[in-house]
A and B are shown apart, each in its own frame.
Chain A
Amino acid sequence: MTGATVFWYASRATGIVALLLLTAVLVLGMVVNRQGRLPGLPRFAVTDLHRNLSLLSVAFIAVHVLTAVLDTYVSIPLAAGVVPFASGYERLWLGLGAISFDLMLAMIVTSLVRGRLNRILWRAIHLLAYLTWPVAFVHSIGASKDLQQGWLLGLTVGCGIVVVAAVAWRLAGVARQVPRAARVAHMFARHDATSGQAAPRRTRQGASR
C-alpha cells in the first residue's frame, strides 16, 4: 500500500464494514419491532444497540464516501456522495449508493426529532429501511469487483441470506399479530388456560363472560 492507494483501500474497507453494520442494524430493527431479545441483553439494550449501530454505520459510510472522493485514481465529485448519479465514474452503482445514503439520513434525522413528529409519519419514513438495505447491497456488489469473488463474495451472500431470513421471521410476526381490540381477550384466554384454578365457579357469577 502506497500513499497513493491508501484512500482507495480505506474506502473499500469502510464500505465492507458499513455493509456488515447495515445488515446488523436492519436485523436488530426487526428484533426491536417484534420485541425480541438477544441472549444476555434486556430489551431496552436491543433498542440501544440498534440506534448506536445505525449511527456508527453512518460514520463508516461518511468515511467511505470521503476517502473515495479524496482518492485521485478516479475522479468522483464530493456531491456524488449525496446527489444520485452525479459521478461520471460508475454512474449507476455510485448513484445507488447515494440514494441509499440519503434514505439513511432521512431515517436518522426523523429518529433524532422523533418526539416532535407524528408517530405515523416517523414509522412511514422508517419503513424505508427495507428499501435502503437492498439499494446499498446492490451498490456494494455492482461497484466493487472485490465482492464478486473469493471469501468477500461469501460474506456478501451471507449478509443476503441473513436479511432474507430475518424478513421472513418479521413477516411471520405480522401474520401472528393479534388485532388491538382482540388483544385483551387473547390475554384472558391464555391466563385462564394456564391457571388451572381459574375455571368458572359459582363464586364468580358473570366473571366467565
Chain B
Amino acid sequence: MHESAPNYPAPRRAAQQGAGLPRLLPATPEDLRAHLARYGPLPYREMPGLLIDDVETAGLTGRGGAAFPVYRKLAAVARARGNRKVIVANGAESEPASRKDELLLRLAPNLVLDGLQLAAEAAGVTEAHLYLHAAGPEILRALAERAARRLDRIDVSITQAPPRFLAGQETALINRIGGGPALPTFQPPRVTERGLGGAPTLVQNVETLAHLALIARYGPRWFRAAGTGSEPGSMLLTVYQPHSKPLVTEAEIGAPLASMLPAGQTGPGPEVQAWLVGGYHGSWLPLPDAAGLRLSNESLRPFGAAAGAGVLVALPAGRCGLAETARVVRYLAAESAGQCGPCLNGLPRIATALAELAGPKPRRQVREDAERWAGLVTGRGACHHPDGTVRFVRSALTVFGPEIARHAQGRCSAANREPFLPLPASLPTREEDWI
C-alpha cells in the first residue's frame, strides 16, 4: 500500500553489514558538512501528512521509554484543529542512568534536527522547541550552521530542563516550556489535543526523531531490516557492567540480552548476579531468566519488564541488590513532585521499608508492608512515577528474595559496599528546584 512512496536511495555507508548498525551514532561529532555528505539533503515532502504513512509502515515507536507508535501521535496532531501547532524534541533524559540522548545530541545533532523539521512538516506544525538539560556546543553549532544555510523551515527555540527525574515527563515538559515549574499534570486531554498554551503538541524523544529522519531518507523497508517483525528497528542503550565505564551502544531490537555485554564475555558469567532492564522505572531480572531473554518488549513482557529508554545494568556479584535498590528508591521517592497523595505518602514509606530490608535484621512484617503499600499507590498518580517505582520495587523484592532471608539472619552477601547504580547529587527541596 505504500509502494508509491518515493524511491528510496540505498544508504551511503562504507561498511554495510547486516542491518547496518550503528545507524545513529558516528564515531565523532559530525558537523553539518559531514552530515550532509553522509546523508544528503533533507527530504522534505512539501506537503503535510505524506511522511506519516511511511512512519506507520516502518513501525517506529517512541524511544523515550513508552514505545508508543509514532505515527499515531503524528496523525493526531496533523488532524487536530488549530492554527498553532507545536513540536517538542525531548532531549531531557531524566533517568540518572541513561546517557544515550546526551551522546546522540553530541555526536549527531543534525540528525535529530532533521527529524524535528521532517516531523514538523508531516504534522503541519508551526512552532518547534528543543527541551534539554544542557545545550552543548555541538547542538548550538548545528543550529547556527543550519540557520546560515536556511535548511530549517521552522525556527527552533531551546528550553532548559531542571535536573529532576520527572522533568522529561510529557506534561511536565509542557508546563516548563510554558514558563512554569516542570510538574506533571493529569491527562486527558492528551497533549496532542491540548498541549503548550492549549495548542496541539507533538512531543518526541530526540532518538525517535533521529530514526524518523532516516526513515524519511531510506524508507520503511530499510528501517525494518533491523529488529523484529513486531518491533522493528534499532535502539540506543546505556549499558552498565562490572569493571568498566557505562557504555552507550546501538542494538537491534530482539538481540539477546547476553550479547550486550562487552566482547569476551559472551554470556552472563559468574561476574553478574542480576540484570536491571529499563532503568529505575524498570525491572530487576534474575539470572536464569535474563540469560535467555532478548531486548524486545515481546520477550520481556512475560517477566513484567520492558526495554523502556534502553538502560541495561548488569549488577556484579558481591554487591547487595537490596542496598542498591533502597538507595535508588529513596532517590525516586524524593523526586516525587509531591502533588498526588498516594505518591507523596506512599513512596517515602516504601523507601523507608526498603532501607530497613537493606539493613541487618529487618523486622518480619517489613517486606509485607512494602508489598501492601506498593499495591496501594499503583495507578493513582497524575503521571506514572508511582507505577514505575513500584514495578522496580516489586521486582527487587522477588529477585533479591534470598538476600532478604540472609539479611533476616543478620548476614549480607555483599563484599563491596560501594554504590553501583548512579544517582545525581542534589535532591529538590525548594520550589525553584523544579524550574
A residues apposed to B, CB below 8 Å: 179-185, 187-188, 191-192, 195, 197-198, 201-207, 209
If A180-B431, A184-B333, A187-B344 touch, whether A203 touches B356 (CB-CB below 8 Å) is no
A-B contact pairs, 26 of them (CB 8 A): A179-B431, A180-B338, A181-B428, A181-B434, A182-B430, A184-B333, A184-B334, A184-B335, A184-B338, A184-B348, A187-B344, A188-B348, A188-B351, A195-B352, A197-B356, A197-B362, A197-B363, A201-B360, A203-B358, A203-B359, A203-B414, A204-B323, A204-B326, A204-B327, A207-B327, A209-B427
B residues apposed to A, CB below 8 Å: 320, 322-323, 326-327, 330, 333-339, 344-345, 347-349, 351-353, 355-356, 358-360, 362-363, 366, 412, 414, 417-419, 423, 427-431, 433-434
Q: Which residues of B contact A192 (CB under 8 A)?
A: 352
Q: Which residues of A contact B362 (CB under 8 A)?
A: 197
If A191-B352, A204-B327 touch, whether A185 touches B334 (CB-CB below 8 Å) is yes
Q: Are A204 and B355 in contact (CB under 8 A)?
A: yes
Please tell me which one of the listed residues A198, A202, A205, A209 contacts residue B352 in the complex, with CB atoms under 8 A apart: A198
Q: Which residues of B contact A197 (CB under 8 A)?
A: 355-356, 359, 362-363, 366
Given contacts A187-B349, A191-B352, 19 further A-B contacts (CB under 8 A): A179-B431, A181-B430, A181-B433, A182-B429, A184-B335, A184-B336, A184-B347, A188-B352, A195-B353, A195-B356, A197-B366, A203-B320, A203-B412, A204-B323, A204-B358, A205-B417, A205-B419, A207-B355, A209-B330
Alpha-carbon separation in the docked complex, A209 to B362 (Å): 21
If A181-B433, A195-B356 touch, whether A203 touches B323 (CB-CB below 8 Å) is yes
Q: Which residues of A contact B430 (CB under 8 A)?
A: 181-182
Please tell me which one of the listed residues B320, B327, B349, B363 contacts residue A206 in the complex, with CB atoms under 8 A apart: B327
If A181-B433, A187-B345 touch, whether A204 touches B428 (CB-CB below 8 Å) is no
Q: Which residues of B contact A201 (CB under 8 A)?
A: 359-360
Q: Which residues of A contact B366 (CB under 8 A)?
A: 197
Q: Are A206 and B423 in contact (CB under 8 A)?
A: yes
Q: Are A181 and B338 in contact (CB under 8 A)?
A: yes
Q: Are B344 and A181 in contact (CB under 8 A)?
A: no
Nearest B residue to A205 via CB reads B419
Q: Are A202 and B433 in contact (CB under 8 A)?
A: no
The 5 A-B residue pairs with the shortest CB-CB distance in the complex, in nearest-first order: A183-B338, A187-B348, A191-B352, A197-B356, A181-B431
Q: Are A181 and B327 in contact (CB under 8 A)?
A: no
Nearest B residue to A185 via CB reads B429
Q: Which residues of A contact B323 (CB under 8 A)?
A: 203-205
Q: Are B359 and A204 in contact (CB under 8 A)?
A: yes
Q: Are A191 and B414 in contact (CB under 8 A)?
A: no
Alpha-carbon separation in the docked complex, A202 to B323 (Å): 10
Q: Which residues of B contact A209 (CB under 8 A)?
A: 330, 427
Nearest A residue to B414 via CB reads A203
Q: Which residues of A contact B433 (CB under 8 A)?
A: 181
Alpha-carbon separation in the docked complex, A65 to B156 (Å): 60
Alpha-carbon separation in the docked complex, A95 to B412 (Å): 77
Q: Which residues of A contact B429 (CB under 8 A)?
A: 181-182, 185
Q: Which residues of B contact A182 (CB under 8 A)?
A: 429-430
Alpha-carbon separation in the docked complex, A183 to B335 (Å): 11
Q: Which residues of A contact B360 (CB under 8 A)?
A: 201, 203
Alpha-carbon separation in the docked complex, A121 to B353 (Å): 40
Alpha-carbon separation in the docked complex, A201 to B344 (Å): 24
Q: Are A206 and B358 in contact (CB under 8 A)?
A: no
Q: Which residues of A contact B355 (CB under 8 A)?
A: 197-198, 204, 207
Please tell me which one of the listed residues B330, B337, B345 contacts residue A207 in the complex, with CB atoms under 8 A apart: B330
Q: Are A207 and B349 in contact (CB under 8 A)?
A: no
Q: Which residues of B contact A195 (CB under 8 A)?
A: 352-353, 356
Nearest A residue to B433 via CB reads A181
Q: Which residues of B contact A202 (CB under 8 A)?
A: 417
Please tell me which one of the listed residues B337, B417, B431 contacts residue A203 in the complex, with CB atoms under 8 A apart: B417
Q: Which residues of B contact A187 (CB under 8 A)?
A: 344-345, 348-349
